[in-house]
Structure 1
Amino acid sequence: MPSTRSASGLTEGSLVGPMVKLAWPIVVIQLLQVTYNIADTFWLGALSSDAVGALSLAFPLIFFLISVGGGFTIAGSILVAQHTGAGGDEEASAVAGQTLSFVSIMAVGIAVVGYFLVDPMLSLLPADERTAAVIIPMAADYMRVFFLGAPFLFGFFVFSALMQGYGETKPPMRIMAVSVLINVVLDPIFIFGLGPIPGMEIEGAAIATVLSRGLATILGLYVIFGTDTGPQVELHHLKPDFDRIREIVKLGVPTAAEQSTSSMAMVILTGMVATFPPAVVAAYGLGNRLSSLVFLPAMGLGQATNTMVGQNLGAKRPDRAERSVRLAGGLVAGVMFVVALVAFFVPEPLVSVFLSADEPRVAETIKHGSDYLRIMAPMFVFMGVLQVILGAFRGAGNTRTALVFSMLTLWVARVPATYYLVFVEGWGPTGIWVAVALGDIVGAIAAVAWFLRGTWKMSVVVNTETEPTLGD
């Protein structure tokens, strides 16, 4: 008999309680995720602003490759959520197993390809002379180590996504906390050296991240296979089942395309930024890391919306699915408005805390970073609402729709606006900051307009308790 243990709290009763219960561990996970980047940025900022600039160049290129596998982890989460809402725990477990094995194989391939593409990818950046001489080689050192550890990263991503789809968000949060704590401890040891361990500078930051991610993956696999928490995955669920893999691929390809084209847009934007001196490159990286911290509530509520919509559509509750989206949108708009006020009026202290190295370019980097944060602040509300709406589309299985609005945000608005404002109008760094804000404002307005049409409220799985099978 199908179990509805996980679904019952999400498909019945009050919406606020289950949504907050589901979302707050996701917010904490996102906070811990950002802590990885902040720890690297903080310690490398104590090393030099050039090291921070190297991270600014490395991450868009890294994300471009790992986003391909990330799309299929989201597909697995969508299917687990809808099967759980429909009362099909066995099918949810089978999908979880197929997602785990399929993405693991992809991760090994991405690690190999990424390692050998580091230099060709970086060579495509039209870098400023000093950026090419100093920052790009450092970015290459970081990326090679990072790609070698890619399978460890994917292991935890898959575990977290599958548990989220099932409605269990606390176990990934606890594991992430342990992993981040280890990373925070290892970062200064491997960057600067301690005792017999030599200082490896930017490569040390990458090694610390890979080791701590590896532990998170091991603990996540233990939860999936060794406990009764989440989907009950067994070894036979890992054997390739091409029908289920096709289902995962059908949903995953648009999401992988969304993430990879989004990361490609970020690569192109990074290429434009690389034409500026190192201080602007470092400020761009700092601004992006601070914005990722600011967007934690939006990301958490967006992912919670994904699960709420998936389980409620699986349970044939489209009205409840829509109410959950409206509730999440209102919550995130209020939170992001307050955050925007802080970022607009006091940006400099937020930026300067990450640059403690004693060198001439620090003051210039802080100035550019403060300008970036102040200009971005008005778009925080729009970005938050956009994340919730995209979460609704994905939860409903409308991954192509999410792809369209992500493309609109980046490729129709942000990238052309950056080129025009920087290279045609000659706005300099200000053109970059303004274009970032403009893209999310345009994307959010368009996505909300489409959401209000209501055509997204369809499940991609059959409710095993209320729907007749084909043989009935």
Structure 2
Amino acid sequence: MSTAHESSLTEGGLVRPMVRLAWPMVVIQLLQVAYNVADTAFLGAVSADAVGALSLAFPLIFFLISVGGGFTAAGAILVAQYTGAESGRSADVIAGQTLAFVTLLACVLAVLGHFSTDWLLSLFPAGAGTEARIVPLAADYMRIYFLGLPFLFGFFIFVSIMRGYGNTRTPMRVMVVSVAINVALDPLLIFGLGPIPRLGIEGAAIATIAARAVATGLGLYILFYTNAGPDIQPPDLVPRFDHVRDIVTLGTPSAIEQSSSSLAFVVLTGMVVAFPPEIIAAYGLGNRLISLVFLPAMGLSQALDTVVGQNLGADRPDRAARASKLAMGLVLVVMAVLTLVAYLFPEPIVGIFLTADTPGATETIAYGVEYLQIAAFMFVFLGVLQVLLGTFRGAGNTKTAMVFSLITLWAVRVPLTYYLVFVAGWAETGIWVAVVMGDVVGCVAALAWWARGTWKERYVEVERDPSVATTSED
């Protein structure tokens, strides 16, 4: 472990170290969505139904993933605050505890997800066309994907621990390798080649899981056999009640936030399946494109929770607040540019992801264009909201972040979608408009709370050890 922090998050200038931490997280998030984009692009060359199957599958998959995701976020928060407080091996121990706890949880969720796939899909009131053409494909994808959850979570844990420690470049490099493997395997397994059979949508799931397995293996090697991150020792994996309690205390609101958000998308998808397959596919395409816009903001948000966490751990609340303001300004500029691009050039953007000349493709693109142009008006609000949520999480205020996420989806988007679609008669346009209004209201409410300044208190209480330096960004 280095004796000096090459780019300290708690001392000196703030812009450069924050950017050094943030840009690899933005790249990681863009690479993260590359998994889904690759699947969508290759499956779009198979059929619009295959793309529609992903639209049904991902809200259900994300629901189970989000349960464990909250606890990986808790690990990142605790590692960041202990690192900022220079608290001896506390950051190392909490990293090991997070790894053990979430891995066990991932194994349980994998079994539950695999055997409940048919039941989960039966919750959707699908029309006859969707039931016959799309649901069976979604089931094939989900069963395989769920079995790979331990590998999926393994990489998420690695990224969270390293982020809290202050090293985001190493996870970025691992992510590059993983995405390259996924992109190489996708066409081989989806379309087949030589002795490799044509597996279609199942091939996309296998490719993603295989790539995640490689990423997890590399991440574990780095955590246990290098000095790039926390110094995890085998005894650190043995559960300790006080540390598990902290992980559960901080992680439960985040798990509720993420799982309730994914449940909201399940409910929203349940409304969407009442429409023809072309609108379902357009909804999935539009959400994938919005995820491309969302993930850079999420990357900055995740970097910010480390900056805020380390500075509050070091008793520097004013510096934490300044970092939050800088992040909001940066994301506002980036999102404004993306808004213009999406609004002015929607058709070529949507068309990239649906190239198969199959029935319904033209209608799907037309609906997707309408969705993207309307959704563009929320990009700035979406970005600022994610920065605010990252600020709250970094401070350990995971309950506050949970509340504003619930407001965005459950208090605004879900009921407004129902009203506009089924009461006001706006049809699919009501879906698109409700997406925008949810983020606008959530952003305004969170900004008002942030301005109160009551979030500027750290979660951990430790004795600072001046002989232990903070981490080094390799």
TM above 0.5, yes or no, is yes
* 1:12 partnered with 2:18: no
CA distance in 1, matches of 2:2, 2:25: 24
SS for the counterpart of 1:10 is coil
TM-score (norm 2): 0.97
CA distance in 1, matches of 2:412, 2:462: 39
Letter in 2 for 1:208: A
TM superposition shift of 1:129: 1.2
TM superposition shift of 1:360: 2.6
CA distance in 1, matches of 2:5, 2:57: 39
Summarize deviations over 1:319-340 as a string: whole Å, max 9, x none.
0000000000000001100100
- Give the structure 2 partner of residue 98 of structure 1: 97
SS for the counterpart of 1:285 is helix
Task: Choose 2-11 or 227-236, whichever is displaced more.
Answer: 2-11
- Give the structure 1 partner of residue 303 of structure 2: 304
SS for the counterpart of 2:121 is helix
CA distance in 2, matches of 1:335, 1:327: 13
Contact 1:112/1:148 (<8 A) preserved? yes
Letter in 2 for 1:23: A
Contact 1:26/1:300 (<8 A) preserved? yes
TM superposition shift of 1:296: 2.9
- Give the structure 2 partner of residue 261 of structure 1: 260
Distance 1:3 1:246, change over 3 A: farther
CA distance in 2, matches of 1:359, 1:465: 64
CA distance in 1, matches of 2:162, 2:5: 10
TM superposition shift of 1:295: 2.0
- Give the structure 2 partner of residue 410 of structure 1: 409
- Give the structure 2 partner of residue 470 of structure 1: none
Structure with bigger RCO (C-alpha 8 Å, 6+ apart): 2
TM superposition shift of 1:345: 1.2
Summarize deviations over 1:10-42 as a string: whole Å, max 9, x none.
001111101110000001101111110010000
- Give the structure 2 partner of residue 362 of structure 1: 361
CA distance in 2, matches of 1:310, 1:125: 40
Summarize deviations over 1:107-133 as a string: whole Å, max 9, x none.
000000001111111001011210111
User: What's the Cα RMSD here?
Assistant: 1.3
- Give the structure 1 partner of residue 152 of structure 2: 153
Letter in 2 for 1:183: N
* 1:335 partnered with 2:330: no
Distance 1:102 1:466, change over 3 A: closer
Structure 1: 4+ residue segments shifted above 2 A: 2-8, 462-467
Letter in 1 for 2:402: L
CA distance in 2, matches of 1:4, 1:75: 26
SS for the counterpart of 1:456 is coil
CA distance in 1, matches of 2:232, 2:68: 20
Contact 2:27/2:296 (<8 A) preserved? no
- Give the structure 2 partner of residue 136 of structure 1: 135
Contact 1:73/1:252 (<8 A) preserved? yes
Contact 2:7/2:17 (<8 A) preserved? no
* 1:291 partnered with 2:290: yes
TM superposition shift of 1:88: 1.7
Distance 1:137 1:190, change over 3 A: same
* 1:423 partnered with 2:422: yes
TM superposition shift of 1:89: 4.3
TM-score (norm 1): 0.97
Contact 1:7/1:85 (<8 A) preserved? no
TM superposition shift of 1:152: 0.4
* Structure 1: runs of 5+ lacking an equivalent: 468-472
Aligned length: 466
CA distance in 1, matches of 2:391, 2:266: 27
Contact 2:88/2:465 (<8 A) preserved? no
Letter in 1 for 2:212: R
CA distance in 1, matches of 2:4, 2:276: 56
- Give the structure 2 partner of residue 237 of structure 1: 236
- Give the structure 2 partner of residue 42 of structure 1: 41
TM superposition shift of 1:6: 4.7
